[in-house]
Amino acid sequence: MKPVAITIGDPAGIGPEIIAKAFAESPGLTAGCFVAGDLACMRRGAAAIARGRPPLALALIDSVEEAAQVPPRCIPVLQVGAPVEPLPAWGEINEAAGRLAAQAVLWAASAALRGEVAAIVTAPLHKEALAAAGLPYPGHTELLQAEAAAHAGVALDCMPVRMMLANDELRTVLVSIHVALREALDAVTFANVRETLRIADAALASMLGRHPRIGVAGLNPHAGEGGLFGREEIEVIVPAIVDARAAGLDVHGPFAPDTVFMRARRGEFDVVVAMYHDQGLIPVKYLGVEKGVNVTLGLPLVRTSPDHGTAFDIAGSGRADASSLCEAIRMAKELAGIS
């Protein structure tokens, strides 16, 4: 069975700690996983959670295949690039930290696209550190999209991706991701809504074994109230839904954004398609960040991530909760067909 690569995230944040905690507390779940990152940064993360006990052992591996030879409760680490020296200070934006975080993701994406790993799970990176390192991407999703498009030899717009945030109670897929709100409104087009419905249906169908029942959130209050509060529902969203239904998708809406998520949580829908980032993410995160998982849909690889950021305010304290990372590992294995 091919292994799962866990990227270290920003080493000035909680990524190394939660990875170490996942290996320490869930050896069965992390079996078959390894860390793509930096040995010294991971060693510091393991020490941060030790709490007076001997820290978890680490094993430096030179290849993906060696991960399977590492015993339980020992973290296999594949060094990506040159060792980071000096180690970045906890909780501070650092160019070297941003560079390592990006290098780990780029390495893991390439390995997944070559078929060497079954899936990748990405610990949180810091967008400002990424920018300081000169990476022209606002986050994981866009970086992975660019790598997948380059690997396939196609233009970026030929590799459409979407973000899904999911927990045990609710799933939501976004039409737009990391753009300003004014730009997000412009992104609500017939083509973008229809593409989001198609991607959501394909991804969830493989998970559920059937077409998912998709609820669509309106853009405007009360889903436009028949055009009184905006015409995007009438002119854009409804035509996209009609087109999706004609293609056999089980799509319903648009519904008032302030109630559709409650209806989905009660079981009326398998997933909600939201029109922009905060509209879709606030309901899922309100239900509990510790159980949320970020999944990138539309890529020719499996990628999941915990539903939180780098938590610079508590980095190095050992207090970070690894629950969301564990859920991300569990979902990555499920999507990759690993029992």
If pLDDT is split at 50, 70 and 90, which confidence band does 53 have? Answer: confident
pLDDT digit string, tens, across residues 205-252: 988 999 999 999 999 999 999 999 999 999 999 999 999 999 999 999
- Region 116-120: mean pLDDT is 97
- Of residues 161, 282, 280, the one with CA closest to residue 218: 280
In whole angstroms, give the CA distance from residue 204 to residue 148. Answer: 21
Q: What is the pTM of this model?
A: 0.90
Q: What structural domains does the chain harbor?
A: 4-159+299-336 (3.40.718.10), 168-283 (3.40.718.10)
Asked whether the predicted pLDDT for residue 288 surpasses 80, the reply is: no
- Of residues 157, 160, 122, 162, the one with CA closest to residue 297: 162
Sign of the dihedral defined by the CA atoms of residues 143, 146, 152, 158, in that order = positive
pLDDT digit string, tens, across residues 138-180: 888 889 999 999 999 999 989 999 999 999 899 999 999 888 9
Name the phi and psi angles at 297, rounded to 5. -100, 145
The upper half-sphere exposure of residue 204, i.e. CA atoms within 13 Å in the direction of its Cβ, equals 28
Q: Are 107 and 142 in contact (CB under 8 A)?
A: no
Contacts of 71 (CB under 8 A, 6+ apart): none
Residue % of the chain over a pLDDT of 90: 87
What distances in angstroms separate CA 59 from CA 12, 50, 69, 81, 113, one per listed residue?
A: 21, 17, 10, 17, 25
